[in-house]
Structure 1
Amino acid sequence: MLPAGSRLTRSDEFASVIRRGSRGGRHRMVVHLQIMGPSTDADAGPRAGLVVSKAVGGAVVRHRVARRLRHLLASRMTGLPAGARVVVRALPPAATATSAELGIDLDAGLRGALRKVPGGVR
């Protein structure tokens, strides 16, 4: 589970990461990553949020996908740079994916997004 201090909660935070961050796309999800600059609250640890729309499935399916992604993301937060903001947007194929498949896509998406971050953060 993601601790409260590690969650993105405001819609403007989500919008900023999606619009200004780098993106790593996979078959089951898209990972958006933004590293906050030194003038912002970059000293804080990484924060993350999920977007699981109705296109993924009904409420039960969406909540199952969100639980799996939260669990997978929580274990990967320590590997992200300070000030990182991550939004994981689940795509419809995530509904039928196993946790292992979601984990592989999440790792690949994070690697892809980190590779594209301006300033050479890797």
Structure 2
Amino acid sequence: MLPAGARLTRRDEFASTIRRGRRAGRTRLVVHLDVNPNPVLAPRAGFVVSKAVGNAVVRHRVTRRLRHLVADRLDALPPGAMLVVRALPPAATATSRELGADLDSGLRKAGAR
């Protein structure tokens, strides 16, 4: 579970991360990473899982899996980083291992530029 201080909660935080961050698209998700120059803040993450992914039960299941996967990788992000993970419809049928592989690949690509 992500602690409250590690979550993106406001619309403007999501919008600025998506607009200014580096994007890496994968089969099941899209990663937006904005490396904030403020090293005082801890890295934070947020999730976008639209109705295109499935009904409420499916969307919450995908969100829980992504939240668990990101919590394990949050310490690897630079201080002040803001991460938005947007699930695509194939995420509904993906296993946690597949989501983790896409997340790792997306984070590598978004951080490498």
Q: Aligning the two structures, in what range does the TM-score lie when normalised by the shorter sequence? A: over 0.9
Q: Give the secondary structure class of the aligned counterpart of 1:50.
A: strand
For residue 24 of structure 1, report the CA deviation from its aligned partner: 1.1
Aligned partners of 1:111, 1:49: CA distance in 2, in Å?
18
Aligned partners of 1:111, 1:37: CA distance in 2, in Å?
19
Aligned residues: 113
**Coordinate RMSD, CA, aligned:** 0.7
Aligned partners of 1:44, 1:15: CA distance in 2, in Å?
18
Aligned partners of 1:15, 1:67: CA distance in 2, in Å?
22
Deviations 1:37-61 (A, max 9, x none): 24xxx31110000000000000000
Percentage of identical aligned residues: 70
- Other-structure match for 2:106: 109
Aligned partners of 1:100, 1:12: CA distance in 2, in Å?
31
For residue 35 of structure 1, report the CA deviation from its aligned partner: 0.9
For residue 8 of structure 1, report the CA deviation from its aligned partner: 0.2
Which runs of at least 4 in structure 1 moved beyond 4 Å after TM superposition? none
Q: Which has the larger radius of gyration?
A: 1
Give the aligned residue type for 2:74. Answer: M
Unpaired runs of 5+ residues, structure 2, are none
Give the aligned residue type for 1:63. Answer: H
- Other-structure match for 2:88: 91
Q: Give the secondary structure class of the aligned counterpart of 1:24.
A: strand
Give the aligned residue type for 1:76. Answer: R
Give the aligned residue type for 2:13. Answer: E
For residue 30 of structure 1, report the CA deviation from its aligned partner: 0.2
Unpaired runs of 5+ residues, structure 1, are 117-122
